[in-house]
Chains A and B, each alone.
Chain A
Amino acid sequence: MHTEQFSYHRAESVKHAVELLETSDDARILAGGQGLIPLMKKRELTPDALVDITQIDELRGIERTDDTIRIGGLSTHREIADSALLKETAPVVPRTVAHITGGQQVHNVATIGGNIARAHPGYDYEGALLSTGSQIVVSGPAGKQRVPVSEFVRGPCSTTLAETQLVTSIEIPVLSGDRRGGYAKKKEPASGNAIVGVATDLLFDDDQSTLVKSARIAVNGLQGCAVRLDATENRLEGKQLTPDRLEAAADDASSSLDSSAVLDNKKASAEYRLCLLEPQVQKSIRQAVGERTLYSQT
């Protein structure tokens, strides 16, 4: 298979990348290439130019700055899954990445920036970023901008990103306390993409506590964009977590959803996606809760 011809430009800095994007009508950013190259090989995408951003050092690294964790846009799935900092401060993110398929070969090169920029409804990051209240940091001719994930993704494979902009980093607010994460996913067997993926971000005081200080749960794959499960969150937030409450919260998962927006396609009918939601929500929350002992209310 051969892609069409294109010219290749290696950007040295974010500024340079933006300039390169501005000079071509139909330029695309090349990061890990795991989303882009297969499409170009099928000649479904035929950009005139590719701007390779992988040499830009400022897009790398995962670090803590005051009250946010900054994940450089070029961070690979592998780096994120292995990040001790993320496991500590936003565990839902590495937990999610563990469910991304394609094997280590994909994890070694595919990036978080490319994943969120492609905004494919079967991709996994969006739910985790939504649940953690992350901002997508975007740079373009007009400078830097922070866009909440919920605004960044407009629909299936569609974002607010302009053609001359790039994702430079993702910022996750740090919460103080014992933050726990879980991710449960029903895969489509061929592509490995999500039919339903549930990301759970829970905050407790410490690793014994069962009082849920905050609960943010988002589902991807279910609709064109990831959505928060408000009803489930409300059943948990500020409450003592009990087995009954956990189940009731999962049972309620679809009650705050617009069921007409649920995807209905060959991978799964809308009905079936909704059927999978409750058990996946349970699994995800349980993973986040982990070993702590839950007592039944009497």
Chain B
Amino acid sequence: MTPNHSDSGIGSSVSRKEDRKVLLGGSKGVDDIPLSDALHIQFIRSEKAHATFTVDATNARDVSGVVAVYTPDDIKQSETTTPNPFTLFSAPMEGVPYPDDSLRQRSFAEDKVHYHGEIIGMVVAETQRIARDALDEITIEYDIIEPVVTPQEATADDAAAIHESVPDNVAFEGGQGDRDLTDEQFENAAYTVELEKDAQRVSPTPLEPRAAIGQYDEATEHLDIIATTQIPHAYRRLLAQMLEHPENKIDVTVPDMGGGFGARQHPYPADVLVGWCAVDLERTVKWRSTRTENQLVENDGRGYEGTWEIALSEQGDILAVRADIRYDLGAWIARGAASLAEAGNLLMTGLYDIPAAYSHVTGIVTNTARIDAYRGVSATPMLMMLERLVSKVAKKAGMDPAAVRKRNFVDPDQFPYQTAGGAKYDSGDYERNFDIGLDELDYSSLRERQEQLREEGRYIGIGISCWTEVAGLGPCGHIDVATWGYGGVQVHPTGEVTVYAGSSNHGQGHETSLGQVASHELGVPLDSVTVVENSTKEVTEGVGTYASRTAALTGGAVAKSCRKIVRKGGKVAAHETGVTPDVIEFDDGTYYPIDSPEDAVTFSEVARQVHMGADIPEEMEPGLEEQTYYDPENCTWPFGTHMVVVEVDPDTGEYDIDQYVATEDCGVQINPAIVEGQIVGGIAQGLGQALYEEVEYADDGTHLSAPLRDETLGSSGGYTVPKAEHMPDITIKSTTTPSPHTPHGAKGMGESGTVAAPGAIVNAIEDAIEPFDIDPMTPPITPEKVWMAINREGKE
């Protein structure tokens, strides 16, 4: 039996099923759900980064309309179990033990605060307005402890300890790769380059601020949570552990959600306390963060600083890469933070066949909000640095940066390819994909033009950055939580289909793409497929959406369930037509015996028959519904290259992006228009990292980047989310190298733009101003920084 095609199947850019509801104004987020008798929570948050404190809430308790005020003592003294600390996703890396338990994030500060915005307690009132006014009636006395705001400060000799049990503020430390071989390769290298830079902290900033509703039914002890999360099932599991409440008495639903980007992967103290408060008050409680509150504590991404090095042979072969990284964790180790370091090491050799790699990571706590997953996770800093190094070492060796890349690519016949960092890449054809980008730019003429223009005093630059990412994150067993993909498929007696997906849709278009998978497999029109997602009530299991895993894993699970259904239906069709199942063909929604196609039975006829249970093979159970826990044999490794052309005005440091070409190979694309949308959206965030975004803390640990627009005199003006005017038009070119191990050969690709754009843009700017003999720049690269680099005083 062969899979079936229809107009809306795999590979078709059908319009999204999600759009109509949004465009008609019908989408509903957490804050949009009508609740008749909800109480409103406002969190009492620390205004200081590092201090012991006492709280006086007497006046707030007296405010009319206030139902409860919880100080740390109130929470601890309540009959409801005090929430347990958060657990971690996994140990930092192989051979490195779990960090000290005292570093696991707590839901509230008991007597000492560790970062600006940490929860100290909460006010619960009849309206949000009353709760907000009551906050102003609370007095907190702080006894300041010298804060340590950066990894450098945190590891200084006289630095204050954030957690007594970890006096040096080092949460973990470890190396990955073959250190001796790497060192040896460096000794034998003809050219080496070292970059000492940081990939600055940036904020994921989904457009919808976080929110949660907790509803508790005393009679059944059932806790219903409606929240902004990318992982409803795992959220439930965590809440069950932390609140010591049976998992089967908790449900988590995610209504329409305004973005996630990794920041909504792991729950926050606020989520836990909303659940706790619902149980404690036996009421419906609701919390909606303001943008300021959201930015204050939502996890940032990156926060890498350190030294990255590359070694090249005389002939232009990359011999080794090495990194020594100080990783800023924030005040507590977030659930996913430790494992992100490992993920970065896995792909630190990028698309190149590099025999040796070694990375040393020191995880450091600072008096700042937590760092955790953000689109691109550690691939962004690791590959930005690698790609900067490749360009720099090529220039040092007098070679063309494109040529050095081509020379060092892993060849198609080397797959599966074991990287020196520890990953096993599934498939690839890097050079073919890369050449399409070069052709699109007309690379060699562009280099000639660059030379000519320089003579006229104009400076254009070409930046290249190749990328891969850990997509389709599985297989099980590599971290301490489940990583399969879940997909259930139910065929209604009418032939309509419901897909139950264990992922989470918040912009990725799963209703469409997972529907396309089912439509393709079952030969039914897309319109007859409904996708149910985002709910522990309706979907049996799930791991959620992160790490570009849905296309490969949920898509894979849905496909596998569909195939089980097609097989079962085939048996029914065989029974019906009086042949054996092995001679039944399934094509475009009909079953027929190979030799007598006129005896066709439609899929919906079969569906009705199995459902009724009459006239089906004897050993067969009625019903046409299957589920799959798909545990892939490997992750998937999509790839591509971004190429950027900029022109820099050396007099002012201002730049324009003249051309942006992104090549992409994510295996088989389910919906190319959705893929393109993900690429461009990722590029906008990568461009933000390269040029505009930076989370800023004052020396005293005050978080300064909360507003997206700030008129405070002397401020930076706000946290810049790139605007339409900041983005260039983007050309996308694709090749298709299927993954050998996923059901459709799909790989997933949600993060590529954010991984590739920073390196490509930074390389382009540095290439443009190379004649000025500049020092490597630190993103975000503002025009002022370019101008300073060109005009810096005391230039050698």
- Beta-carbon nearest neighbor of B709 in chain A: A191
Distance of B688 from chain A, by nearest CB (Å): 10
Q: Which of A48-56, A144-152, A263-271 contacts B (4 or more CB under 8 A)?
A: A263-271
Is A295 part of the binding interface, using a Cβ–Cβ cutoff of 8 Å?
no
Is B290 part of the binding interface, using a Cβ–Cβ cutoff of 8 Å?
yes
What are the residues of chain B within 8 A of A42 when measuring CB–CB? 292, 707
Distance of A297 from chain B, by nearest CB (Å): 24
Q: B714 to A193, Cβ gap below 8 A? A: no
Q: B133 to A2, Cβ gap below 8 A? A: yes
- Beta-carbon nearest neighbor of B691 in chain A: A189
For the complex, count residues of A whose C-beta is within 8 A of B: 29
Is A72 part of the binding interface, using a Cβ–Cβ cutoff of 8 Å?
no
What are the residues of chain B within 8 A of A122 when measuring CB–CB? 711, 717
A-B contacts at CB below 8 angstroms, number: 72
Is B708 part of the binding interface, using a Cβ–Cβ cutoff of 8 Å?
yes
What are the residues of chain B within 8 A of A266 when measuring CB–CB? 714-717
What are the residues of chain B within 8 A of A157 when measuring CB–CB? 713
Q: B709 to A190, Cβ gap below 8 A? A: yes
Q: Which of B248-256, B539-547, B578-586, B718-726 contacts A (4 or more CB under 8 A)?
A: B718-726
What are the residues of chain A within 8 A of B715 when measuring CB–CB? 265-267
Q: A190 to B710, Cβ gap below 8 A? A: yes
Q: B714 to A191, Cβ gap below 8 A? A: no
Cross-chain contact of B711 among A38, A43, A269, A272 (Cβ < 8 A): A38
Cross-chain contact of A267 among B649, B652, B717, B719 (Cβ < 8 A): B717
Is B692 part of the binding interface, using a Cβ–Cβ cutoff of 8 Å?
yes
What are the residues of chain B within 8 A of A193 when measuring CB–CB? 711, 717
Q: A2 to B716, Cβ gap below 8 A? A: no
Cα-based distance from A122 to B712 in the complex (angstroms) = 10
What are the residues of chain A within 8 A of B713 when measuring CB–CB? 120-121, 156-157, 265
Fill in one digit per residue for B645-666: 1 if any A CB lies within 8 Å of its CB, else 0.
0000101110000000000000
Q: Known interface pairs A267-B716, A279-B652. Does A190 touch B708 (Cβ–Cβ under 8 Å)?
A: yes
Cross-chain contact of B784 among A4, A191, A268, A279 (Cβ < 8 A): A268
Is A257 part of the binding interface, using a Cβ–Cβ cutoff of 8 Å?
no
Is A47 part of the binding interface, using a Cβ–Cβ cutoff of 8 Å?
no
What are the residues of chain A within 8 A of B708 when measuring CB–CB? 190
What are the residues of chain A within 8 A of B716 when measuring CB–CB? 188, 190, 266-267
Cα-based distance from A192 to B652 in the complex (angstroms) = 19
Residue from A1, A120, A191, A193 having most chain B Cβ neighbours under 10 A: A191
Q: B787 to A272, Cβ gap below 8 A? A: yes
Cross-chain contact of B717 among A43, A189, A275, A279 (Cβ < 8 A): A189
Cross-chain contact of B652 among A5, A39, A120, A276 (Cβ < 8 A): A276
What are the residues of chain A within 8 A of B710 when measuring CB–CB? 190-191
Q: A2 to B128, Cβ gap below 8 A? A: yes
Fill in one digit per residue for A187-203: 1 if any B CB lies within 8 Å of its CB, else 0.
01111110000000000
Cα-based distance from A2 to B134 in the complex (angstroms) = 12
What are the residues of chain A within 8 A of B128 when measuring CB–CB? 2
What are the residues of chain A within 8 A of B788 when measuring CB–CB? 272
Cα-based distance from A71 to B709 in the complex (angstroms) = 29
What are the residues of chain B within 8 A of A39 when measuring CB–CB? 711
Is A35 part of the binding interface, using a Cβ–Cβ cutoff of 8 Å?
yes
Cross-chain contact of A275 among B692, B726, B787 (Cβ < 8 A): B787
What are the residues of chain B within 8 A of A188 when measuring CB–CB? 716-717
Distance of B719 from chain A, by nearest CB (Å): 6
What are the residues of chain B within 8 A of A192 when measuring CB–CB? 709
Distance of B290 from chain A, by nearest CB (Å): 5
Cα-based distance from A284 to B182 in the complex (angstroms) = 56
Q: A157-B713, A190-B716, A191-B709 are in contact. List 10 more A-B contacts (CB 8 A).
A: A1-B290, A1-B291, A2-B129, A42-B707, A43-B136, A156-B713, A190-B710, A266-B717, A275-B653, A276-B652
Q: Which 8 pairs show the lowest CB-CB distances between chains A and B? A: A190-B718, A191-B717, A190-B720, A188-B717, A266-B716, A190-B717, A265-B714, A272-B784
Q: Could you jot down 26 A-B contacts, CB within 8 Å?
A: A1-B290, A2-B128, A2-B129, A2-B132, A35-B711, A38-B709, A38-B711, A39-B711, A120-B711, A122-B711, A189-B720, A190-B708, A190-B716, A190-B717, A190-B720, A191-B709, A191-B717, A192-B709, A265-B714, A267-B715, A267-B717, A272-B787, A275-B651, A275-B791, A276-B652, A279-B651
